[in-house]
Amino acid sequence: MNRSQHIESKIRELIDHMSIDEKVGQLTLITSAEGQIPDSLREDIIAGRIGGILNETQREVIHELQRIATEESRLGIPLLVGRDVIHGFKTIFPIPLGQAATWNPTLIEQAARISAQEAASTGINWTFAPMMDIARDPRWGRIAESLGEDPYLTGVLAAAMIRGFQGTDLSAPDSIAACAKHFAGYGASESGRDYNTTNIPENELRNVYLPPFKAAVNAGVASVMTSFSDIDGVPATANEKLLRHILRDEWQYDGLVVSDWDAIYQLIEHGLCANSKEAAYEAANAGVDMEMFSQTYREHLPEWVAEGKLSMAQIDALVANVLRMKFRLGLFDQPYTRAEDFPPVANASFRQAAYQTALESIVLLKNENHVLPLSKTELPTLAVMGPLADDGYEQLGTWIFDGDTALSQTPLQALRAAMNGENSLRYARVMETTRQNTREGFAGAIQLAKQSEKILLFLGEESILSGEAHCRADIRLPGNQEELIHELAKLGKPLIVVIMAGRPLALQNVIDKIDALLMAWHPGTMAGTAIADLLLGNAAPSGKLPVTFPRVTGQIPIYYNQKNTGRPATPETYIHIDEIERGAPQVSLGNTSYHFDVHYTPLFPFGFGLSYTQFEYRHLQVNPSEIKLGESITIRANIRNTGEREAAEIVQLYVRDLVGNVTRPVKELKGFQKIRLQPGEQTTVTFNLSTDELAFYNRNMVRVTEPGDFHVWIGSSSATGLRGEFAIIP
């Protein structure tokens, strides 16, 4: 037999020997006692009542838990050991949204590989990442954990992260099972409030929210986690259409499906179920294999089987999915972790990878009069200020349970190191936190700025302001940071701002006061070195936005791949509220889709990012101009570095399907390439696009590619580029 057949044979053999209580035990995932093994936990494992443990990180404890499971329980089934290893374990990489700004799948795969190695060295064998929810609302705290707003980019990067976590062999000691979450549509929570309702038409679900999950399944993801939210009235954790019809039947997925924390019990709070017994039935019947934290399965599934409402075959199918992942992880062959199999955590190689990822994640959004890069000779005359300039914890971001702040390199430390250890760099924290609402510290900051030639401000959000349940109704700079910018701008000196945050921020009130702006997200352990090297020109920024920046919060949701509508706003039709004349006829107001009090465009579009050089795009070629279904088209353009320094550029391919059975977005990302050019160097970037890549779900929910006319762009962002045309003919 091949390995897959062997695994299926062993699964069937085990299930045939299991009691109903042992079967339900495999479906039970509980939280650990964190460093201890109480008698009750030991007894449950011996009795086969536990299938997996959450949040244990001590190698010796995990070893003992596995020993009890494999040597003292009747059937010797090893445990799954899960932990939220989201963007690093000890070595912390940029938050996932920051990683997405690299547009570099190779770096993202490397970051996940290192994270897996560090976590696996303790005995952890399962992580709950990547999160691939499409995030169009930056008020949502978990946008920090996302890979942005675009289905294509998210799918490519999520697949890279899965390859990193799982390696080339999931059973290898340094591989851990990845988990595609949250299935599905969680990013569409109303008003950006976590856990909230999602109302997504099926066409939108299939064309926007599901493609990244399909990419994850194609990449071999070992597990899938259900969403907390309901979707069209049925919570995802009890949604048979999602879990059975789409995931299992359509996509032929044979991995494990796990609930989110307490999500099965919360079916009662949703109003879908009257009690925990009903909740257990709904989740199991829908196809949730493993229950995280709550105990409704253990308490009630045997009852449902005894009553004949759930068949033993249904229970066996759930158990098989759990056992299959354990076999694929190689836990039956080697349940124990040996420290000597792993390199030291946070070693120099790992920190270098974190540095490179941080470096490529940072996006230059503004650079008036070439204020950046700075020279080292300017450092002694530079005023470095802000609550995030020297905070090793806050730069790590959300979801860093096991991160070591002692490893953090802060921007202030790195800038001082660039001065060969001199302490003449002028620094003031100014604000105790990013949320400070008083002017305490302002007078000293202004005085320091007056004594300096340039001002460098580190602002944004503390890590606690983003992440799960950390949502915001107003995404401007919190506290009195805007006021600080306005006060310092009055001095007339070059003002450079570095923002660390877990989401895009609405910066219209201050953008005109800022000369240079770097969006650093929360860059992780090596934030300081990466930021300092960009500020000093030791490297050139290459990051591009994976998400749109609104001008003001009221524009949300605003995203690049919007629909055109029947009355799209244009420069000719837009009229600001200040320009409306008293008594003017209504027709003069444009009668198109926009807000009176803010421009209809975003502050910074998806895919945007500046460099310290300039790139010229020329000579777009589309060949052939007509193709038939099943054929491919080649799109190419010449890119030249017209500036004075070497730099990288992310070249992006966008397409618009002009007429469809259902309305199509104004643009869709279909490819990207990262190139590096010397000054004056030119290269030709080529994309090959098949008609299959232009398919979409029509009004009958059938995936089709339709003949018709298309526009295509190659450019540096979603808002710019060389445009061509082609057609698909019958």
Say how far apart CA 627 and CA 691 lie, in whole Å: 8
Measured between alpha carbons, how far is 654 from 667 in angstroms, rounded to an integer? 6
Q: Please provide residue 496's backbone torsions phi and psi, each rounded to the nearest 5 degrees.
A: -110, 130
Closest CA to 361 of 499, 549, 230, 472: 499
C-alpha distance across the termini of the chain, in Å: 46
Q: SS3 for 87-146, per residue?
A: CECCCECCCHHHHHCCCCHHHHHHHHHHHHHHHHCCCCCEECCCECCCCCCCCCHHHHHC
Among 484, 420, 418, which residue's Cα sits nearest to residue 455?
484
Q: Are 196 and 148 in contact (CB under 8 A)?
A: no
Task: Let me know if 340 is exposed, middle or buried by CB neighbors in 10 A (0-12, 13-18, 19+).
Answer: exposed
- Annotation says 597 is catalytic: no
Contact (CB, 8 A) for 525 and 351: yes
Q: CA 650, 555, 99, 681: dihedral to nearest 10 degrees? A: 10
Closest CA to 48 of 17, 22, 13, 70: 22
Q: Of 492, 385, 390, 499, give the one whose Cα is nearest residue 443.
A: 385
Tell me phi and psi for residue 17, to 5 degrees. Answer: -100, 0
Apex CA 89: angle with CA 87 and CA 95, to 5°? 20
Backbone φ/ψ region at 709: left (φ over 0), alpha (ψ -120 to 50), beta: beta
State how far the alpha carbon of 527 is from the alpha carbons of 91, 100, 390, 534, in Å: 12, 16, 10, 11
Please count the other Cβ atoms lying within 10 Å of the Cβ belonging to residue 512. Answer: 10
* C-alpha of 654 from chain center: 21
What is the Cα–Cα distance from 283 to 279, expressed in whole angstroms? 6
Rounded-to-integer distance, Cα 521 and Cα 325, Å: 34
Phi and psi dihedrals of 669, rounded to 5? -65, 130
CA-to-CA distance for 7 and 12, rounded, in angstroms?
9
Among 260, 402, 533, 657, the one annotated catalytic:
260
Q: Which residues contact 193 (CB under 8 A, 6 or more apart)?
A: 139, 140, 471
CA distances from 312 to 315, 391, 686 (A): 5, 55, 55
Q: Which secondary-structure segment (H or E) carries 460? A: strand 454-460
Length of the chain, in residues: 730
Contact 412, 391 (CB under 8 A): no
Q: Write the burial class of residue 578 (CB in 10 Å: 0-12 exposed, 13-18 middle, 19+ buried).
A: exposed
CA 722 to chain centre: 29
Describe the strand order of the beta sheet including 126-127 as a list of residue ranges. 126-127, 80-83, 52-54, 28-31, 291-292
Considering all CA atoms of the chain, what is the largest pairwise distance in Å, rounded to the nearest integer? 85
Dist CA 408 CA 551 (whole Å): 32
Is residue 224 within 8 A of residue 256, CB to CB? The reply is yes
Identity of residue 509: N
Active site residues: 260
